[in-house]
């Protein structure tokens, strides 16, 4: 009788180990605040799930212990898009065309990203997510492309469906982004009026538009791939090329 119990316990332990090894990676998705809710545009969580990750929405908090546990819980992080960043964060006064800023979200995103880097968790940063990372490492932004870029520019605030691309980007060879997308010219969507001005220290530009605007940056050392466009919306709209960015994040989450 006793040996049967021992065998049963051994069976349970082995089963548990097998289940643990086959677990799908948990992918944290940073959120924003609506007037009455914590929210994430549906496309982010759908794209993560389509790539085989379990999407975990991370609520905004100023509690550092909670931020650390959020990061400890996940295997990789998606930093989502949203409102303009407070320009005082990079030493500039607000431009007349600056949109509404949300300081609590700015502070949360900065703390979350720093914690993810400290703990070695891979990051896919999108739109505003790219901009936050650029600011953390000493970069600056054009607060409003039309009024501050000072050079001819193409349309970066598309009016067509965000699931469809509207301009091309040229991807720099020998970058992580090139390895993932395997293409020099890629059609992407565009819903931003801000963009990287001074590039963050230690980062590489991995894509630009024909007007010179930076559309992607990365750091191998910090495990960051950041894009100015919205791959999640294109993935949700059925785009297979952009799904590679999410598959890559899942792979990086599994190999971390
Ligand atoms: Mn653009």
How much is the pTM?
0.92
| Residue of 156, 167, 192, 230 marked catalytic | 230
* pLDDT lower than 50: segments of the chain: 19
The answer to whether residue 127 is catalytic is yes
Q: Which two tokens stand for residue 78?
A: 């998606």
CA of 195 to the centre of ligand 1 (A): 8
CA of 142 to the centre of ligand 1 (A): 13
Please, what is the Cα angle at 29 between 168 and 19, to 5 degrees?
115
- CA-based nearest residue to 122, from 25, 39, 233: 25
The answer to whether residue 12 is catalytic is no
Residue 116: per-residue pLDDT: 98
CA of 13 to the centre of ligand 1 (A): 51
Query: CA-to-CA distance for 205 and 215, rounded, in angstroms?
Result: 8
What residues sit around ligand 1, an ion, with C-beta below 5 angstroms?
A: 156, 190
Residue 20: per-residue pLDDT: 56
**Rg (the chain; Cα; Å):** 20
The answer to whether residue 230 is catalytic is yes
Residue 17: per-residue pLDDT: 52
> Measured between alpha carbons, how far is residue 41 from residues 31, 57, 209 in Å?
9, 11, 25
Q: Which two tokens stand for residue 174?
A: 């020998």
| Residue of 127, 167, 193, 233 marked catalytic | 127
């Amino acid at each position: 009788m006793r040996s049967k119990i021992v065998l049963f316990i051994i069976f349970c332990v082995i089963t548990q180990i097998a289940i643990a090894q086959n677990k799908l990676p948990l992918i944290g998705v940073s959120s924003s605040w609506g007037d009455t809710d914590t929210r994430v545009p549906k496309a982010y969580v759908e794209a993560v799930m389509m790539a085989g990750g379990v999407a975990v929405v991370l609520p905004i908090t100023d509690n550092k212990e909670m931020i650390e546990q959020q990061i400890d819980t996940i295997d990789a992080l998606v930093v989502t898009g949203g409102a303009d960043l407070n320009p005082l964060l990079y030493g500039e006064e607000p431009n007349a065309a600056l949109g509404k800023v949300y300081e609590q979200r700015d502070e949360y995103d900065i703390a979350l990203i720093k914690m993810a880097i400290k703990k070695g968790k891979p990051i896919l940063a999108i739109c505003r997510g790219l901009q936050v990372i650029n600011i953390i490492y000493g970069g600056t932004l054009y607060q409003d492309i039309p009024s501050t870029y000072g050079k001819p520019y193409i349309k970066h605030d598309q009016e067509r469906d965000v699931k469809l691309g509207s301009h091309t980007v040229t991807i720099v060879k020998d970058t992580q982004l090139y390895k993932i997308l395997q293409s020099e010219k890629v059609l992407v969507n565009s819903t931003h009026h801000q963009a990287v001005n001074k590039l963050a220290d230690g980062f590489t530009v991995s894509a630009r538009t024909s007007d010179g605007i930076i559309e992607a940056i990365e750091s191998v050392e910090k495990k960051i791939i950041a894009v100015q466009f919205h791959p999640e919306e294109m993935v949700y709209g059925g785009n297979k090329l952009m799904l590679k960015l999410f598959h890559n994040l899942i792979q990086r989450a599994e190999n971390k």
